[in-house]
Amino acid sequence: MSVNDRIVADLIKNRIEFVTSVPCKQLAGVIDKIDKAPEIHHVPCNKEDEGMGLCAGAYMGGKRAAIVMQNTALGVTLNTLATLTQFYRMPLPMLISYRGEIGEPVACQVEMAVHTKALLDQMLIPTYHFHREEDADELDAILNHSFMARKPVAILTDAAFWKGY
Amino acid sequence: MIRSEVIKSLIPVISDQLVVCNIGLPSQELHMMDDQPSNFYMLGTMGLSSSIGLGLALAQKEKVIAIDGDGSVLTNLGTLPTIGNNEAPNFILLIIDNGSYGSTGDQPTYAGKKTKLADVARACGCDNVVECKAEEAPETMRKALESDQGTVIVCSCESGNIKVPVIELDPVVIRHRFMTEVEKRNAARGQA
Ligand SMILES: [Mg+2]
């Protein structure tokens, strides 16, 4: 099973029925699979904080929701994470393309990479870093953890994990 | 008419509907005038009322009204293409357009100048965009609810505020009682 298929299978296993996304090259394959999965309603959004609003609404409507996004957008979501997701105590798995790590061809991406973990740490968001393909073995448990704790969790997936794009 | 009067006039029409209400004074006014478990009050996160409302409408069957403001829609303009491209016949976005950032002291917005939010919504792909005057708000909302079509209402009113107390409900209480209400209504619909 490809890593993209495994990720989507874990989303479905955890009864995630609503996914919003802002694309990233590294995430193109998984977004495509999410879009095609009949179990998941995929609603592309234009900005990540908007997407988190959609997820909050879907969750209150009884559907487990997740967001797929790039780490460079983390900054624009901080207020939403604090005053919506965390303040109202809602779960939110964030599958994040961790751009700017080893293997990154675009220098500018490193500028947000160096802040990514520090920002997530400052926001007290449980963070998991997928570097090798077998790290994805833990995805099922991480998703479950987000819904159990009703907290956002971040899954950072770097270039080595995606084996280049 | 100012926004609080528009909200007051809407209460007979929206009291029994699922309502997601914008941050600041709109939520405080609705909470003061007609607190209901079917109301979700935003205590923060400017701009996301329409996004929360759309997500809720797409996830379940009951009708959803998102009360938003001109300033908040301008903050999250990306919401309009998402609304325009994701069909939700049970979603009504009410933009109360007073041409100002009411909650922060009525500083003017661009919607009160050259920007026409109804035209922006249409250009973004929203099919049913209705403009109305403040005094027409209840009738316009009643028609939108009856139409079973996703609708964006842009309701113009005057700027100005009344004194309202802050909402002291805990956010988790707001969220929990709202979710309980959503679940109950959908379960009743399943049995009907
Ligand atoms: Mg305004």
pLDDT in tens, A64-86: 999 999 999 999 999 999 999 99
Q: Does A53 touch chain B (CB under 8 A)?
A: yes
Tell me the chain A residues in contact with residue B179 when contact means C-beta distances shorter than 8 Å. Answer: 60, 62
Measured in angstroms, how far is the CA atom of residue B156 from the centroid of ligand 1? 10
Q: B75 in contact with A at a CB cutoff of 8 Å? A: no
Considering the domain boundaries, does residue A22 fall inside one?
yes
Q: Which range of residues forms the domain containing residue B52?
A: 3-188
Write down the pLDDT at residue B86: 98
Token duo for residue B121: 């919504």
Q: Which residues fall inside 5 Å of ion ligand 1, going by CB?
A: B 69-71, 98, 102
Q: What is the largest CA-CA distance in chain B?
A: 49
Distance A28 CA to ligand 1 centre (A): 38
Class of residue A148 by CB neighbours under 10 A (exposed 0-12, middle 13-18, buried 19+)? exposed
CA-CA distances (angstroms) from residue A158 to A62, A119, A145, B178? 31, 17, 21, 38
Q: How confident is the model at residue A35 (pLDDT cuts 50, 70, 90)?
A: very high
> The domain containing residue A113 runs over which residues?
3-157
Q: What are phi and psi of B41, to 5 degrees?
A: -95, 130
Q: Is residue A72 within 8 Å of residue A99, measured between CB atoms? A: yes
User: Is residue A162 assigned to a domain?
Assistant: no
Helix pair B3-14, B25-34: axis angle to 10 deg: 50
- At B47, which amino acid appears? G
- CATH assignment of the domain containing B26: 3.40.50.970
CA of B31 to the centre of ligand 1 (A): 18
- Amino acid (one-letter) located at B86: N
Q: What's the CATH number where A150 sits?
A: 3.40.50.970
- Closest residue on chain A to B73 (Cα): A50
**Is A145 within the bounds of a domain?**
yes
Give chain A's mean pLDDT. 97
Report the number of distinct structural domains present in chain B.
1
**% of residues, chain A, pLDDT over 70:** 99
Confidence of residue A1 (pLDDT cuts 50, 70, 90): confident
In a domain, A93, yes or no: yes
Number of folded domains in chain A? 1
3-state secondary structure of B137: helix
Complete DSSP assignment for chain A: --HHHHHHHHHHHTTEEEEEE---GGGHHHHHHHHH-TT-EEEE-SSHHHHHHHHHHHHHTT-EEEEEEEGGGHHHHHHHIIIIIITTT--EEEEEE-TTSTT---HHHHHHHHHHHHHHHHTT--EEEE-SGGGGGGHHHHHHHHHHHT-EEEEEE-HHHHT--
What's residue A165's pLDDT? 56
Q: CA nearest B153: which of B27, B30, B50?
A: B50
The Cα-based distances of B144 to A29, B20, B52, B147 in angstroms read 40, 16, 19, 5
| A57 reaches B (C-beta below 8 A) | yes
Question: What is the pLDDT averaged over residues A43-58?
Answer: 98
pLDDT at A56 over 90: yes
B69/B45 Cα distance (integer angstroms): 13
CB contact under 8 A, A83 and B43: yes
Nearest alpha-carbon partner for B53 in B26, B104, B90: B90
B45 phi-psi bin (left φ>0, alpha ψ -120 to 50, beta other): left
Distance CA B153, CA B97 (A): 10
pLDDT attached to residue A92? 98
The answer, yes or no, to whether residue A61 has pLDDT greater than 60, is: yes
The pLDDT score that the predictor gives to residue B85 is 98
- Walking along chain B (192 residues) 10 residues at a time, the average pLDDT comes out as 98 98 96 98 97 98 98 98 98 98 93 97 98 98 97 97 96 98 95 74
- What is the rounded CA–CA span in Å between residue A153 and residue A150? 9
Ligand 1 centroid – CA B35 distance (Å): 22
